[in-house]
């Protein structure tokens, strides 16, 4: 199950961040395009994925008090709590403060 956490489209940037729960694991992925991105990344494109293992995903939802809720409700809580253009970073910091392991991949 997927849910869009954030989206912005204008003449400077196209940005979308999505959360997905699959196989008991949470991933938060993003894709940024446009002239604003090109200021930092040649080619004007940046992709990234924040991943939590099954154990980390369980601990994450326990910390939010929604471990027993249906996936749709969990994703809605993530959207309501962490929705902004840096949702991946905010979730990563939230997890780090609670000792919840995450992994991060980006391109370029």
What is the extent of the structural domain holding 48? 2-107
The pLDDT of 60-68, averaged and rounded, is 97
pLDDT per residue as tens digits for the range 8-19: 999 999 999 999
pTM greater than 0.85 = yes
19 with 25: CB under 8 angstroms?
Answer: no
Question: Are β-strands 2-9 and 45-52 bridged in parallel, bridged antiparallel, or unpaired?
Answer: unpaired
pLDDT per residue as tens digits for the range 81-103: 998 889 999 999 999 999 999 99
Specify the number of domains making up the chain: 1
């Amino acid at each position: 199950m997927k849910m869009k956490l954030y989206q912005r489209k204008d003449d400077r940037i196209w940005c979308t961040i999505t959360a997905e729960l699959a196989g008991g694991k949470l991933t938060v992925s993003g894709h940024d395009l446009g002239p604003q991105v090109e200021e930092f990344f040649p080619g004007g494109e940046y992709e990234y994925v924040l991943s939590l293992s099954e154990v980390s995903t369980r601990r994450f939802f326990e910390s939010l008090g929604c471990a027993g809720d249906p996936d749709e409700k969990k994703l809605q809580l993530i959207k309501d709590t962490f929705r902004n253009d840096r949702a991946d970073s905010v979730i990563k910091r939230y997890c780090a403060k609670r000792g919840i392991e995450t992994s991060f991949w980006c391109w370029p």
